[in-house]
Every structure is written in structure tokens, then in C-alpha cells.
């Protein structure tokens, strides 16, 4: 009866965490959709403003060009009248027959080639100046600038991490002989090597990430007289909240995470060639951690990597995770206290 009450209590706790996880997920989705709509409206408004400005600039440019042309025509006409009044009578000099025959021999094609050669020679002498014709469109490309993280970060990003995490199942009992974890493997943790990928949504207070991870590890020991192996793999989905918008650069970022996990364990008695497998139900986990930015170690390299590859930040991730036991009494417990882990995280 007591065991049934404990199991019922565990189920209530498990259901509470699941509801919390689902509600958080829906809240994040609603927040993302709302913010996306706001961005679309702001972008549309900005396009209309830019279009009006361009039309105004074009009109001003045409008016100024028309005034300039009128002024230039009047000035040229006035200069022509002045020159004609002050110009002395000129004497007509006949062109020599030799020069005339030489010009006739050149022909139109040769004259055009000579003109192109003179133009190329002139441009070679002054290669530092490029003259763009008025009828040619000039496209100005946006230049990527290296601002502070708080100024340059967008609303969306991605996180990739390789990590190592320690697990110690203090309530584990072997299916073979009911021995505890400590009796079989002592105080040694199962070290899980893992990888994770997450989508990141940035907003004013910080950021939220929604991602998945996978880890695998095993240990061996023969302190009982038989070589015993335990192989563990863990699949987990997580929601994390980061305080990464407090400073211009996120040198230190504390964060908190809630997760749903499934742990598969396999115990091997090597001499007897026996294997006992167990797969847990969906369980809940709590994670607290700190991200330490590594960009300051090589600031020039970090700047170059951002401009060329879009890498926003590189972090050292130090975290502690606690796993609740979702299994019934017939399966080995995977409950653990806060165990530490570390990883190298890259933000795009």
C-alpha cells in the first residue's frame, strides 16, 4: 500500500512537470509568432518610408539637374556671345594635300581604333579615378559591421554544442542479483559524451532556446568477481532561459533549463554472456548552468570568424543537472542528484 502511494505521488509529480513543460512550449511558440508578426509590420512600414524617401530624392535630383542644365545653357550662350564679340577676324589656311590624303587613307574603322587606343592610354595614366556614366545604375551593397553583441544580434539564432556529462544512479538495483550501483561500480560516474542542437529566440530580457541532445557512455568493473558493464544512452529535449542581454558582450551568462528525457541502460555480465536491458519512461530534469564567453581570448579571430562565417559567440558551458526517476519499482532507477557536466558551445 505504501509503495502504491509513493508510485502515485511520483506520477503526480511527473504529470506536473509534463504540464509545465508543455505550457512553456506553447508560451514560447505564441511569443515567437507574436514577435514575428510585429517584425513583419515594422518591416512593411519601413519599406513604405524608404519608398517615399526614394521618390522624394529622385524628384529633388531631377529638379536640381534641370536647373543646372538651364543655368549651364545660359552661361554657354553668354560666353559664346562674348567670345564672338571679342574674337578677331581669322584667316583661312588651306589644308595641305598631303595631310588630307593621309586622313583619307585612315578610314572610319582605323579612326575609331585610334580613338579607343587614345582612350585606353588616357585611362591607364589615371587609373585611380573611375567615371560612371549617368545612364548606368550603381548598386550599393550592405557592408557587414562588427558591433557589440547586444547591438548586432538578431531575433533568431542556433546553438551547437559538444559536451561531456557525469551520471551517478544512487538508487540503481541490478536486475541480475539486486546489487546496488555502488556495489557494482563504486563511486565512478558514467561519463556521457554528447552533442546538442537548439533553436534560439532572442528578446529584450534575454533569450529562450528549444533543442534536443543525445549522449552515450559506459563503464566496466569486476569488483564482484565478475566483469560487469553498464552502457547508458540518453535522449533529451530541453527549454532553456538565458540572461545574455544584460551587458554589451555576454561574458558571463547564467541560465535555467527544464527537460524531458529518456534513458536506456544495458547491464552486461561478461563471463556469463548475459544482458539485462531497461528503457525508462519519459522523465523530468532540471538544469542550471553558466556560459563563459571565449571571444575575448582571441578578439581579432572572433571578429574575422563572425564576418566570414556568422559565428556570434563561442562559450564554455558548465552545468549541473538533476534527473527524476520515471520508472516503476520493477525497473532500475535512473534518478540522480545534481551531477556536473561541461561543453563547448557555438552560437550562430
Give me the pLDDT at residue 3, please: 46
Average pLDDT over every residue of 306-315: 91
**Is residue 317 a contact partner of residue 347, using CB atoms and an 8 Å limit?**
no
Give me the pLDDT at residue 2, please: 46
Tell which residue, 188, 172, 139, has the closest CA to residue 280.
172
Task: Give 224's Cβ-side CA count (13 Å radius).
Answer: 21
Strands 274-279, 252-269: pairing kind = antiparallel
Q: Which pLDDT band holds residue 107 (cuts at 50, 70, 90)?
A: low
Q: Which residue has the higher pLDDT, 167 or 116?
A: 167
Query: In this predicted model, what pLDDT tens digit does every residue of 95-106 receive, in sequence order?
Result: 444 444 444 444
DSSP H helical ranges for the chain: 2-86, 97-125, 149-152, 181-185, 299-309
Query: In this predicted model, what pLDDT tens digit does every residue of 269-285 receive, in sequence order?
Result: 999 889 999 999 999 99
> What sign does the dihedral 325-327-328-331 (CA atoms) show?
negative
Burial of residue 53, with CB atoms counted within 10 A of its CB: 0-12 exposed, 13-18 middle, 19 or more buried: exposed
| Residue given cell 540503481 in the structure block | 172
Query: In this predicted model, what pLDDT tens digit does every residue of 49-79 receive, in sequence order?
Result: 667 766 666 676 677 766 766 666 566 656 6
Pull the grid cell for residue 289.
548552468
DSSP H helical ranges for 87-174: 97-125, 149-152
Average pLDDT over every residue of 119-129: 51
Whole-prediction pTM value?
0.60
pLDDT-wise least confident of 224-228, 258-262, 320-324: 224-228
Query: In this predicted model, what pLDDT tens digit does every residue of 189-225 receive, in sequence order?
Result: 999 999 999 999 999 989 999 999 999 999 999 988 8
Phi (first) and psi of residue 269, to 5 degrees: -100, 100
Average pLDDT over every residue of 225-245: 95
Give me the pLDDT at residue 331, please: 87
Instruction: Give dist(CA 216, CA 287) in Å, integer.
Output: 18
Amino acid at each position: 500500500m505504501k509503495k502504491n502511494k509513493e508510485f502515485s505521488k511520483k506520477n503526480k509529480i511527473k504529470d506536473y512537470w509534463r504540464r509545465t513543460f508543455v505550457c512553456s512550449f506553447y508560451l514560447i511558440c505564441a511569443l515567437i509568432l507574436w514577435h514575428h508578426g510585429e517584425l513583419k509590420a515594422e518591416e512593411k512600414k519601413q519599406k513604405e518610408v524608404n519608398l517615399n524617401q526614394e521618390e522624394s530624392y529622385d524628384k529633388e535630383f531631377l529638379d536640381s539637374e534641370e536647373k543646372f542644365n538651364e543655368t549651364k545653357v545660359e552661361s554657354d550662350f553668354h560666353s559664346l556671345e562674348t567670345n564672338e564679340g571679342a574674337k578677331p577676324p581669322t584667316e583661312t589656311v588651306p589644308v595641305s594635300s598631303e595631310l588630307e590624303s593621309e586622313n583619307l587613307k585612315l578610314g572610319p574603322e582605323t579612326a575609331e581604333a585610334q580613338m579607343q587606343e587614345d582612350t585606353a592610354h588616357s585611362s591607364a595614366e589615371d587609373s585611380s579615378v573611375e567615371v560612371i556614366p549617368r545612364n548606368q545604375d550603381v548598386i550599393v551593397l550592405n557592408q557587414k559591421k562588427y558591433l557589440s553583441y547586444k547591438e548586432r544580434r538578431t531575433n533568431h539564432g542556433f546553438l551547437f554544442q559538444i559536451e561531456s556529462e557525469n551520471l551517478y544512479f544512487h538508487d540503481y538495483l541490478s536486475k541480475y542479483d539486486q546489487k546496488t550501483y555502488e556495489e557494482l561500480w563504486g563511486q565512478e560516474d558514467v561519463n556521457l559524451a554528447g552533442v546538442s542542437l537548439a533553436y534560439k529566440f532572442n528578446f529584450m530580457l534575454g533569450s529562450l532556446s528549444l533543442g534536443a541532445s543525445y549522449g552515450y557512455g559506459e563503464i566496466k568493473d569486476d569488483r564482484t568477481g565478475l566483469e560487469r558493464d553498464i552502457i547508458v544512452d540518453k535522449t533529451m529535449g530541453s527549454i532553456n532561459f538565458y540572461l545574455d542581454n544584460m551587458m554589451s558582450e555576454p561574458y558571463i551568462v547564467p541560465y535555467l533549463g527544464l527537460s524531458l528525457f529518456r534513458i536506456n541502460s544495458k547491464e552486461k555480465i561478461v563471463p556469463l554472456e548475459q544482458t539485462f536491458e531497461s528503457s525508462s519512461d519519459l522523465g523530468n530534469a532540471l538544469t542550471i548552468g553558466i556560459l563563459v564567453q571565449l571571444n575575448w581570448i582571441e578578439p581579432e579571430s572572433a571578429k574575422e570568424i563572425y564576418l566570414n562565417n556568422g559565428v556570434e559567440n563561442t562559450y564554455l558551458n558548465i552545468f549541473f543537472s538533476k534527473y527524476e526517476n520515471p520508472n516503476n519499482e520493477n525497473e532500475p532507477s535512473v534518478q540522480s542528484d545534481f551531477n556536473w557536466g561541461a561543453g563547448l558551445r557555438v552560437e550562430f
